[in-house]
Amino acid sequence: MSNSFGKIFKITTFGESHGPVIGVVIDGCPSQLEITEEEINLELKKRRPNSSNFVSSRDEKDVARIVSGILNGKTTGAPICIIIENKDIKSSSYANIKDVLRPSHANFTYLKKYGIFDHKGASRASARETAARVAAGAVAKKILKKQKIEIFAYVKKIGNITANVGDDDLCKIDQSPILCPDIVATKKMMEKLIAIKKEKDSIGGVVEFVVKNAESLGDPIYDKLSAKLGSAMMSIPGAIGFEIGDGFLGAQKKGSIRNDRYEMQDDKVITKTNNEGGILAGISTGRDIIARVAFKPTSSIGKKQETIDIYGKKISFTLLSSRHDICIAIRACIVVEAMCSLVLVDSLLLNKIAKLDHEKAHSQS
């Protein structure tokens, strides 16, 4: 199984949804970076379940413990290992579905590929694994902060309700219980979520993210920043689509209308529009990187469902205790930020070997 991500700043996550712990090993983090468990826990708190009526009621406190790679509050250059204990495990809730092929669930494909699947909480396929990514993302964000690179992720859409979010709204994301800075849209989305919850159902959504001050990151051809971001976002459980800039709408436009024209502003070359979403030819332009990730409705729902078991017998089943998110997109926001930060830090470190320092190159010639 592919449990690692990144080239220079590389993470490997481990653990299962209903195992004793989950965690992450970070390799390639530069030394002398100041990072504390408290900073990591602040990020984990944003992803933590049981934080509102609209997310999973699993009561995990998600407290990170750093067990290697840190000395006196600073990274040493050695691998950083972070562990998070699983506390609120209710494996008995899955006893009646051990042999059930759950609709749109990972157990079918895992069984086909590996011949074995830990049915308790979906094991590695569970969104529980993403807490480890968020922990790693906290370290990556600390590096990005030194470069003044900021990432903002928010709920753009739930069902057919779309938020209108501008630059001035980005500071208001955390003020919304569903991480949508559009007050009007938030009210409508919450009403929709309440209705869906009463139906014991789930609904899909879209997370939009904005990256500021990320210039000249990414590499041509096979390591395009857009491709790496796409890979990162599509690795998140429940992700079903990814687009940058005007995305699929761009396919409906004429080039004469869509092309981002260059102009000078304060002695700097910029583009008048940003249809490319801040990435051109795989390299970030310096304009805001704007992209969206679509998430499917949570496959685990409280309604009765029809399916077959592993023996091919037709059955109907209901989850004994459904503690799942009504809409994945809400808690996915912080995971999107984490995966984005991992990509950007990796690209930042790769940039260090992209070209020789001009003065050093001149003195050596």
Instruction: Give the pLDDT of residue 362.
Output: 43
Identify the pLDDT of residue 124: 85
* CA–CA distance, 353 with 46 (Å, rounded to integer): 34
CA distance 332 to 214: 22
Specify whether the CB–CB gap between 202 and 105 falls below 8 A: no
Cα–Cα dist 26/11, whole Å: 5
pLDDT at 52: 67
- Give 101-148 pLDDT, tens digit per residue: 999 999 999 999 999 888 776 778 888 899 999 999 999 999 999 999
For position 361, what pLDDT does the model report? 47
The list of the chain residues with pLDDT below 50 reads 358-359, 361-363, 365
Q: What is the model's pLDDT at position 149?
A: 98
Distance separating alpha carbons of residues 326 and 351, to the nearest angstrom: 40
Which pLDDT score, from 0 to 100, does residue 23 have? 97
Q: Which amino acid is at 104?
A: S
Q: What is the pLDDT of residue 27?
A: 98
Q: Work out the angle at residue 125's Cα, subtended by the Cα atoms of residues 66 and 127, and round it to the nearest 5 degrees.
A: 60
Contact indicator for 350, 28 with CB cutoff of 8 Å = no
Residue-level pLDDT at 68: 98
Q: 214-269: per-residue pLDDT in tens? A: 999 999 999 999 999 999 999 999 999 999 999 999 999 999 999 999 999 999 99
**Cα 315 to the chain's mean position, in Å?**
34
Report angle CA 268, 273, 278 to the nearest 5 degrees.
75
What is the reported pLDDT for 58? 62
Residue 155 C-alpha from the chain's centroid: 12
Walk me through the domains of the chain, giving residue ranges and CATH numbers.
4-364 (3.60.150.10)
pLDDT for the residue numbered 117? 84
Residue 191 has what pLDDT?
Answer: 97
The number of beta carbons lying within 10 Å of the beta carbon of residue 168 is 8
